[in-house]
Amino acid sequence: MVQPHVLLVTFPAQGHINPSLQFAKRLIKMGIEVTFTTSVFAHRRMAKTAASAAPKGLNLAAFSDGFDDGFKSNVDDSKRYMSEIRSRGSQTLRDIILKSSEEGRPVTSLVYTLLLPWAAEVARELHIPSALLWIQPATVLDIYYYYFNGYEDEMKCSSNDPNLSIQLPRLPLLKSQDLPSFLVSSSSKDDKYSFALPTFKEQLDTLDGEENPKVLVNTFDALELEPLKAIEKYNLIGIGPLIPSSFLGGKDSLESSFGGDLFQKSNDDYMEWLNIKPKSSIVYISFGSLLNLSRNQKEEIAKGLIEIKRPFLWVIRDQENIKEVEKEEEKLSCMMELEKQGKIIPWCSQLEVLTHPSLGCFVSHCG
């Protein structure tokens, strides 16, 4: 009998890597071999961080996305990036699959995260079953599906009137503020994000082309039973929540991190600082591993924080490969006031922060 071997292909962003690694750990505990692959840049960053020791049974592989020194969202072209990651990634996946077969450990299934529909095409080409790992709630997938299947005009109308409700099959009543921003705001017209909607459409077309399309969703039946059943032609399976077991009442205290940080955590004692803050008092601000805010945007956020007079924890990633003069120019004008009121750190353990009792508000780039 052939040993099950899953090739897990992950888009190189922290919010994709974390749940994918957690899924990989679960498969390994079931005795399944897993090869985890992401971009060269993300692979290098994961290898540098102290917490990123790969669990036993996890093979790590990397593919070039054409930006091996990292994609800079404020400089690089996103459409070119998506084209490069497709062409280079597809060839690398073929090579990994063929090499594994030659070594007597053939890939028996391919699982891929959103924004990588081409991975399913490679699997189909090589006659390997595939499944999409949907890292967002099932409801979000349903909304995108309905947008491209008869409800686009209704959603666009609701975006013009925030008081207008929209009823989608098997979903609760929604308003425009409940819909993904790509569907209702100017972000879909922004060149930086213009790739998103076409890629989601391609993803759904790819699933439509499968005989029995499977989607593994980062949710669970008790939370989203109806949304998991909403799309009859897809087999949506709740496998979440994909977070370390220690946050779910597990006994393994070592299982308290994802183990794939793209950035070194701050040495600052931010957890001790949170421990002395009142319950539900902290505003936590973090915009992920890809988004780069302009200096003006950061200045506006800083002004807002000072005005609300609330303690805050703000993650501002260290910028790499820039001169000291440029670093000085990037410093916020009101830094002294900010430091009296809250903390600014380069990276943190987000799960630990989000589960801390002092947290009262989370300001994020993606809801």
Q: Annotated active-site positions, please?
A: 16
Compute the CA torsion angle 187, 192, 197, 203 (nearest 10 deg).
-150
Handedness of CA 323, 84, 141, 153 (dihedral sign): positive
Length of the chain: 367
Q: Are strands 174-175 and 165-166 parallel, antiparallel or unpaired?
A: antiparallel
Question: Is residue 241 reached through a cis peptide bond, with omega within 30 degrees of 0 on the bond before it?
Answer: yes
On whether the CB atoms of residues 294 and 325 are closer than 8 A, the answer is no
Q: Which of 94, 95, 117, 98 is nearest to 106 (CA)?
A: 98
Contacts of the segment 239-247: beta carbons below 8 A, 24+ positions apart: 239/23, 239/26, 240/19, 242/18, 242/19, 242/20, 242/22, 242/23, 242/135, 242/218, 243/19, 243/22, 243/351, 244/22, 244/351, 247/351, 247/355
On whether the CB atoms of residues 58 and 38 are closer than 8 A, the answer is no
Amino acid in the structure at residue 315: V
What separation in angstroms does the CA of 266 have from each of 214, 263, 318? 39, 9, 10
On whether the CB atoms of residues 124 and 27 are closer than 8 A, the answer is no
Across the strands, what pairs with 7?
Answer: 35, 110
Burial class (CB in 10 A: 0-12, 13-18, 19+), 154: middle
Q: Are strands 5-9 and 130-134 parallel, antiparallel or unpaired?
A: unpaired
Provide the CB-side half-sphere exposure for 163 (13 A, CA): 0
On whether the CB atoms of residues 293 and 287 are closer than 8 A, the answer is yes
User: For tokens 């090499």, what's the residue?
Assistant: 99
Question: Which pair of structure tokens corresponds to residue 66?
Answer: 């054409």
